[in-house]
Chain A
Amino acid sequence: MKKMKIATLAATAMMLAAVFTGCANKAGTSGNSASGDTITIGGNFELSGAAAAYGSAMQRGVKLAVTKINKDGGVKVGDKKMKLKLVTKDNKSDNASAASIATNLTTQTKASAVIGPITSGAGLAALPNMTKAKVPLITPGGTQDSLTLQKNGKVQPYMFRSCFEDSFQGKALAKYVYNTMKLKNVAILGDKSTDYAQGLIKAFKGEYKGKIVTTEYYQAGDKDFNTLLTKLKSKNYDAIFVPGYYSEAGLIIRQAREMGIDKPIVGADGFADPKLVSIAGKSNASNIYYTTHFDAKAPANNKVADYLKLYKDTYGDDAGTFDALSYDAVYMIKQAIETEKSTNSVKIAEGLAKLKNFQGVTGTITMDKYHNPQKPVIVTKLMDGSEAEATAVK
């Protein structure tokens, strides 16, 4: 009897599955197109939860771009001008809701393109649903290398980013340390527990021409680095490379400076948060270098000044990294629609992949074949807790 029941259940489940896949296929053959005079763009934003700071910056940037584009007349599709409509949803910094919102935005809202989520993890979770619906996703902050790649090494057709990837900035940093700072010996103090830091270490080691004196590891959430720093003290090195996030990097800077280590400390975009300085202490945050996507001090082109002004006028605050990347993401979609002369999501994805010499506020972007933007990396230098200078590294 029991066996019978299970068999019936299995059969029902299979039938249901067949019905569902049927639906998905039907929706997926063509992708989404605009209906009427408006093109719908979805926003899968982290508006609450752990990544809320990034998510709300993303929302500000996207909103600003959409308003600006509509004010300037809209998007030119063939010989018709169409307005953009933004539909945003809060994924609560949760991977599961990022995935369900991806489905919602593509099947219910019928968005032609979606911006966000901003973190790599949530991006990976949302991607299968985006691919199923054949709608491109642009993440402004997902820097993980593997994000745009399938398991077999081929590119994910519907995943794009407006930021550069981890290995790109790791390499740029290695070049900067060796060529510009002229430092020949580096000690690495890296986060063992995140893919982000692992990717950076690998890229840095591959590119750096000097000597890596030692590589030590810590875990995200660690608070005590005295032991590792005491160990470094006796070694001969010119700079410390800290691949990791600001919460630990701030503590490393603080404890190193308190211990009397005044060598340069370099890092990647994980440093780019005002909290870095507040945790490290103003006087300790000197001689710190990190790569970043956008810096008002090193404008990529003449669009930056306008952007900074527009942002300040709208929000009364200074523009940051992630709003600028999100702003660019919207314009990338606009560019793709205009070159393809279509609002169809499959076409937009094709257009995004072909993006070349696109003038964004974060630099001139050309998409490589893995959907990673090729653009200059900015290195920012901190002295006494504030930005002293910023340079673009090619």
Chain B
Amino acid sequence: MQILQQLINGLSLGSIYALLALGYTMVYGIIKLINFAHGDVYMLGAFWGYYMINTFHVGFWTALILSMIFCAIIGVIVEFLAYRPLRDSPRIVVLITAIGVSFLLENGMSYLFSSSPRDFPQAMVMHRYHLGSLSISNVQVLILVTSIVLMILLQLIIKRTRMGKAMRAVSVDPEAAQLIGINVDHTISFTFALGSALAGAAGVMIGLYYNSIDPLMGMTPGIKAFVAAVLGGIGLIPGAALGGFVIGLVETAVQAMGFSAFRDAAVYGILIVILIIRPAGILGKTTREKV
């Protein structure tokens, strides 16, 4: 019975990693950039939700949608200001810029709002459902369901819409895409908007679930989501979702087996192993890169 309970714990943790990993993987798929500021966009989403609920007393769903919109805008602005001017620079330059943006957001928020944690307004009353000794809360169900719905929605956007087609085209070959009339800049902006919106949703849900947000909350989940994206196969959307759930379950399993002190070591160990054995990730196909 305890195993089932831990499975639930692992899945609800994993769904958050999965939502975050999607943002990493989409951006990487299109411009081959690990956007290290992604975890901080998630933090901004949580803070925006916090202010919406506290100041304007909106409901949870409104706050969720407002946060997604806010983060989408932030994502586009970050891309426009920090990454677009470096479009033709070496990849390492953009990568370092991404780390810089991440520090800017973390410390900027610490400066403006102090780094002490604040309690997230309880926009939804927590219920627990009991099934024998199993128990699951409505918020856990909500996180799981919302995450899965958002992932399906994302998949639909990418596979069924013109913009999605453009995204896929740009990710295969930006120059060729430009030749056939796709506006590459718009497509990249759209990708950032989508990924950041997902991060915003994750931020609000996490705020509600744990009732505590702070300017550095995006740091560790951001890195773990990055591991999840690499594990699933970076650049692949189903891979990110799978990687997120796997990481969530691994963390839970390590702790449940009594190695709580080694939880993070296990996650980063996975990153090292996967990079050595299967750099393309679980779902990735090994392709040769033309030099």
Q: Residues on A close to B: CB < 8 A?
A: 49-50, 52-53, 192, 214, 216-219, 221-224, 226-228, 230-231, 233-234, 247, 250-251, 254, 258-260, 275, 278-279, 281
Contacts and interface: CB of A to CB of B under 8 A. Distances in A.
Nearest to B139: A258
Contact of A231 (B116, B118, B217, B256): B256
A223 B210 contact: yes
B211 A254 contact: yes
A217 B261 contact: yes
B136 to A, nearest CB: 10
A219 B110 CA distance: 20
Contacts of B264: 219
Interface residues of B, number: 37
A221 B219 CA distance: 9
Interface in B1-53: 2, 5-6, 9-10, 12-13
Contact of A226 (B9, B117, B219): B9
Given A50-B115, A231-B255, A247 B2 contact: no
A42 B144 CA distance: 55
Nearest to A280: B211
A258 B115 contact: no
Contacts of A251: 210-212
B220 A217 contact: no
B175 interface: no
A216 B211 contact: no
Contact of B114 (A52, A192, A228): A52
Contacts of B173: none
A279 B261 contact: no
B128 A227 contact: no
Contact of B128 (A219, A258, A281): A258
Nearest to A277: B119
Contact of A53 (B12, B116, B118): B116
B67 interface: no
Nearest to B261: A217
Interface of B: 2, 5-6, 9-10, 12-13, 110, 114-119, 122, 126, 128, 135, 137, 206, 210-212, 214, 216-217, 219-220, 251-252, 255-256, 258, 260-261, 263-264
B223 to A, nearest CB: 11
A234 B110 CA distance: 40
A226 B5 CA distance: 9
A260 B210 CA distance: 16
Given A217-B261, A251-B212, A278-B119, A231 B2 contact: yes
Interface centre among A214, A222, A279 (most CB of B within 10 A): A279
B114 A216 contact: no
A281 B126 CA distance: 12
Contacts of B128: 258, 260
Given A221-B220, A247-B214, A258-B128, A227 B251 contact: yes
A333 B9 CA distance: 53
A10 B259 CA distance: 51
A45 to B, nearest CB: 16
- Tell me if B's interface is mostly helix, strand, loop or mixed: helix
Nearest to A216: B260
Contacts of B2: 230-231, 233-234
Contact of B252 (A52, A216, A227): A227
A278 to B, nearest CB: 4
A280 to B, nearest CB: 8
Given A216-B255, A230-B9, A234-B2, A223 B206 contact: yes
A219 B264 CA distance: 9
Contacts of A281: 122, 211
A223 B217 contact: yes
10 contacts: A49-B115, A219-B263, A247-B116, A247-B212, A251-B211, A251-B212, A275-B116, A278-B118, A279-B211, A281-B211
A45 B133 CA distance: 51
A202 to B, nearest CB: 15
Given A50-B115, A228-B260, A275-B117, A250 B212 contact: yes
A228 B116 contact: no
B256 A230 contact: yes
A270 B268 CA distance: 29
A214 B261 CA distance: 13
Contacts of B117: 247, 250, 275, 279
A243 to B, nearest CB: 14
A227 B135 contact: no
Nearest to B130: A260
B204 to A, nearest CB: 14
A142 B143 CA distance: 40
Interface centre among A228, A231, A247, A258 (most CB of B within 10 A): A231
B212 A227 contact: no
Nearest to A214: B258
B9 A218 contact: no
A226 B210 CA distance: 11
A247 B2 CA distance: 27
Contacts of B13: 224, 226-227
A218 to B, nearest CB: 7
A224 B256 contact: no
Given A223-B210, A227-B10, A234-B2, A275 B219 contact: no
